[in-house]
């Protein structure tokens, strides 16, 4: 009986569509726009974003400081040719650990690696001895993504500052409430016991304050401040009355006014109907064709948002699996991978931000996925311009994402399998 042969171990670096895209993106770097000092500071601050941990950031900083400053000037080549053994000695780790760290940095899009036939790292020089290319660790992808990563660091700092402020306010309000309950001797025992029970419920809901999100801390702080007012026997806050001019119907003098709207809120209202946000009632004499046309000019048509199921998007966008992206299980997951889809499709951050500002995160993510799919089908030559055009159409109310999704899904299901 022949013994089964063990499976052969795969030889070579793992290849993925994302890594190939990062290599192509590194070729578009404009050397000289970012200095080595800026990249070193960025690498030290990246752990706050959660993209890398402290050890990976330490290795990335070591790689940046290894390259000479002239390599980041115009005409330079920021490529590192040190071996894993040398890098392991410099960061006090094993060579195997350095190899795994380099793979994680490659997958995160912070470095790219070009391997030779024997996995040695060496430069390629011209006749004058100037390095023009080489097989090693390429840092040009950091120059391309510097603005994006720097913005992520800034957002992380802003969120951390907001979380710290909410934490300090919550702890101060909690201390004030406990002090108020201890010093309010004239407070009835029934009210004191009720406030103590509510205090314990809020504290249990928050749990460890340092790990609670800032939104939860703000809501808990508002409740505790209200408990303090009750403990100090302060009068209730006066309710803010609405001004008469804010009313949709100014001719209503007293009583409850019930606004009447169209029974079908999804259908466009005609010129003779009055919306809930309209001004004073229009008399029958003013309902002329000329007045209707004037109102139509002053009030542009607004398109309603298309509701598309997430399963329809997954069926219409097979490019997500083609490029190795994680299939989203919710709308939040789809919005989370939108920046990664932009990097794969070659869409700039400015175009993505404009789309998010105009359409919102979810609709912008759907538009980016459509652009990626059409780029994969070679129907779009300029993904950045295509997304900007979709953003302009969304601003004028002429964008219909549901039609694009269903059209792509129909074409995908009708195509014969390879």
Residue 72, pLDDT > 50, answer yes
The pLDDT of residue 114? 83
pLDDT tens for 184-234 read 777 888 888 888 888 898 889 899 988 888 888 888 898 888 888 888 877
Tell the burial category of 59 from Cβ atoms under 10 Å away from its Cβ (0-12, 13-18, 19+): buried
pLDDT (tens digit, 9 = 90+) per residue, 75-112?
888 988 999 999 999 999 999 999 999 999 999 999 99
Average pLDDT over every residue of 327-332:
87
Nearest to 316 by CA among 391, 417, 418, 404: 404
For position 10, what pLDDT does the model report?
60
Q: How many CA atoms lie within 13 A of 287 on its CB side?
A: 9
Q: What is the pLDDT of residues 3-30, one digit of tens each?
A: 666 656 566 678 888 898 998 999 888 9
pLDDT of the residue at 5: 62
pLDDT at 133: 72
Confidence (pLDDT) at 6: 60
In the structure, how many helices (H) and strands (E) does the chain have? Answer: 18, 5
User: What is the per-residue pLDDT across 47-56, written as a single tens digit (0 to 9) for each?
Assistant: 999 999 999 9
- pTM of the shown model: 0.50
Indicate whether 280 pLDDT > 60.
Answer: no
- For all residues of the chain together, what is the average pLDDT? 78
- Please report which confidence band the pLDDT of residue 382 belongs to, taking 50, 70 and 90 as the band edges: confident
With a CB cutoff of 8 Å and minimum separation 6, the contacts of 371 are: 345, 347, 380, 383, 386, 387, 390
pLDDT > 70 fraction of the chain, expressed in percent and rounded: 78
- For position 65, what pLDDT does the model report? 93
Query: If you average pLDDT over residues 161-184, what whole number do you get?
Result: 88
pLDDT score of 9: 57
**Is it the case that residue 314 has pLDDT exceeding 60?**
yes
């Amino acid at each position: 009986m022949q013994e089964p042969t063990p499976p052969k171990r795969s030889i070579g670096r793992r290849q993925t569509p994302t890594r190939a895209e990062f290599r192509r993106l590194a070729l578009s770097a404009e050397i000289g726009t970012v200095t080595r000092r800026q990249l070193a500071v960025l690498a030290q601050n990246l752990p706050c974003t959660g993209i890398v941990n402290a050890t990976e950031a330490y290795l990335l900083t070591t790689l940046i400081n290894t390259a000479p400053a002239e390599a980041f000037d115009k005409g330079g080549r920021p490529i590192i040719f040190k071996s894993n053994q040398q890098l392991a000695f410099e960061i006090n780790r094993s060579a195997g650990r350095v190899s795994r760290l380099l793979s994680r940095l490659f997958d995160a899009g912070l470095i790219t690696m070009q391997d030779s036939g024997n996995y040695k790292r060496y430069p390629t020089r011209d006749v004058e001895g100037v390095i023009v290319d080489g097989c090693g660790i390429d840092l040009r992808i950091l120059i391309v993504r510097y603005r994006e990563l720097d913005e992520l660091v800034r957002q992380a700092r802003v969120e951390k500052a907001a979380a710290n402020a909410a934490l300090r306010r919550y702890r101060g309000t909690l201390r004030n409430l406990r002090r108020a309950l201890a010093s309010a001797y004239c407070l009835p025992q029934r009210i004191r016991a009720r406030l103590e029970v509510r205090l314990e419920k809020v504290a249990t809901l928050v749990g460890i304050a340092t790990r609670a999100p800032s939104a939860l801390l703000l809501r808990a702080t508002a409740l505790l401040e209200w408990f303090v007012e009750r403990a100090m026997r302060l009068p209730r806050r006066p309710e803010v009355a609405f001004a008469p001019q804010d009313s949709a119907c100014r001719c209503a003098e007293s009583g409850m006014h019930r606004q009447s709207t169209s029974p079908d809120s999804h259908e466009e209202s005609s010129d003779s109907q009055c919306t809930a946000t309209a001004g004073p009632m229009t008399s029958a004499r003013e309902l002329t064709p000329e007045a209707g046309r004037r109102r139509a000019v002053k009030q542009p048509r607004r398109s309603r948002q298309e509701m598309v199921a997430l399963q329809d998007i997954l069926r219409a966008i097979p490019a997500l699996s083609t490029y190795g992206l994680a299939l989203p299980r919710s709308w939040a997951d789809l919005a989370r991978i939108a920046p990664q889809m932009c990097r794969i499709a070659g869409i700039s951050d400015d175009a993505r931000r404009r789309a998010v500002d105009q359409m919102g995160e979810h609709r912008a993510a759907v538009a980016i996925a459509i652009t990626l799919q059409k780029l994969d089908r070679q129907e779009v030559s300029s993904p950045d311009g295509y997304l900007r055009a979709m953003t302009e159409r969304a601003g004028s109310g002429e964008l219909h994402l549901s039609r694009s999704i269903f059209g792509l899904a129909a074409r995908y299901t009708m195509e014969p399998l390879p």
